[in-house]
Structure 1
Amino acid sequence: MDRQNSRLIAFSGIFIALLLGVGYALAFVPNVELLTAMVFMSGVLMGFKRGIIIGVVGEFLFSALNPMGSGLLFPPMLIAQLIAMAIVSFLGALTRNYVLRCKQGIISAIIMGGIGLLLTLFYDILVSAAFPVSAGFSFREVVGTIIAGLA
């Protein structure tokens, strides 16, 4: 294994540890969640492939070992979380050039805030829909559950 490959593996491990540290440190703080932002940044900083691996592994460990309840108890929700974080990381890698080169200012802040809002909504909708869809709820019941999950 060459030196560059070893460094990338080490950086990936450090990033996953950072994801878990931030996630668990804020697990009991209501309405504060930085895991999605960290997964987005893994895509920005590590690229498509490594960013997705970091996002999926980090989310799996966070969900499986969560002190508020393990995601292993409900596999459809865990799968939805992993898919959502893979997409968040992918979009982080996709917007890499913009994020790394954007200048400070109100326009950049609004654009980055909008990206964060849309990705958070996407994650919440996907995860909120996991149970009712897997339980065979009707479309109206699924929509009602998603709305309740966003409230």
Structure 2
Amino acid sequence: MVEVKFQQPIDRVVTIGLLSSLCIVSNYAMLPLWNVKLMDTIVFVSGFLYGLHAGMAVAAISWFVYGILNPYGFSLPTLLAVITGEMLYALSGSLAKRKFSMTNGPGFLSAQNLAFGVVGLFSTLAYDVLTNAVAGWLFYGSVMYGLLTMNFPIPMGIIHEASNFFLFAFLAPVAINSVKRSGFQSALKRGRKEGLRNVI
């Protein structure tokens, strides 16, 4: 198990805030790429490294801000659906850390990379089924219609699932290793001590 422990409550707040900000910024930056999002991978990594509750907080904060301030408009029921769906990635990350004590295999193309990709694929499929079913029921009065429009006439669901397969397989292990090796929590602790010295 590789969950990173927070030394102080403020560390949790800072980390969740930074990861949520990264999700929001990446969503705006990737708007031209239909249904390709870094946010899902970031939420997964959050759940993997910091636990289910931290990952869920990142998912909720990110979608709360982006879901209200986005060019596609705002709908409260849809927002609640995507927040719930996004939390599936936090759950996947939290469960994955129980299975994988190491964050990647001996090579860039390893069984563990493939496993992360498969986790991303099925997590995304669950997200897409949930959110499209809710959208179909809300706007068309038909869950089935919502599921059919997931990939027709434009295969938005397939794009989302395929892109997340590769992002989870290759980016997530790199991100997890980078955080572990960077001493991020140590940096937070040093920054807190320096802040106290400045106050004194």
Q: 1:134 to 1:111 in 2, by over 3 A?
A: same
One-letter amino acid of the counterpart of residue 50, structure 2: M
Q: Distance in 1 between matches of 2:150 and 2:34?
A: 19
Which protein is richer in helix relative to its size?
1
Q: In the alignment, what sits opposite 1:96?
A: 97
Where in structure 2 are there 5+ consecutive unaligned residues? 1-6, 159-200
Which range moves more in the overlay, 9-18 or 20-29? Answer: 20-29
- Tell me which of 135, 138, 159 is aligned to 1:134: 138
The answer (yes or no) to whether the contact 1:42–1:55 under 8 Å persists in 2 is no
- Partner of 1:12, secondary structure, is helix
Bigger shift: 31-40 or 127-136?
127-136
RMSD, aligned CA = 2.2
**How far apart in 1 are the matches of 2:143 and 2:13?**
43
Please state how far the C-alpha of 1:140 moved relative to its aligned partner. 4.3
Q: Secondary structure at the match of 1:30?
A: coil
Within 2, Cα distance between the matches of 1:37 and 1:13?
A: 16
Partner of 2:49: 45
Report how far residue 134 of structure 1 moved: 2.3
Compared with structure 1, are the counterparts of its residues 84 and 4 closer, same or farther at alpha carbon in structure 2 (3 Å cutoff)?
A: same
Match of 1:4 in 2: 8
Partner of 2:25: 21
> Does the C-alpha gap of structure 1 residues 37 and 100 become closer, same or farther in structure 2, counting only changes over 3 Å?
farther
Count of aligned pairs between the two proteins: 146
Query: In the TM superposition, what whole-angstrom CA distance separates every residue of 1:96-145 from its partner, at most 9, and x where no partner exists?
Result: 23345143242112111111111111112211112221246345434423
CA contact (8 A) 2:129 2:147 kept: no
Runs of 4+ with deviation above 6 angstroms: none
TM (norm. structure 2) is 0.64
Mapped pair 1:69 → 2:76: no
- Rounded Cα–Cα distance in structure 2 between residues aligned with 1:114 and 1:8: 29
Correspondence 1:110 to 2:108: no
- CA gap of 1:126–1:139, structure 2 versus 1, over 3 A, is closer
Could you give the per-residue CA deviations for residues 64-119 of structure 1, whole angstroms, max 9, x where no partner exists? Answer: 112x323x2x2222111011011221221121233451432421121111111111
Unaligned stretches of 5+ residues in structure 1: none
Give the TM-score taking structure 1 as reference length.
0.82
Are the aligned partners of 2:23 and 2:62 in contact in 1 as well (CA < 8 Å)?
yes
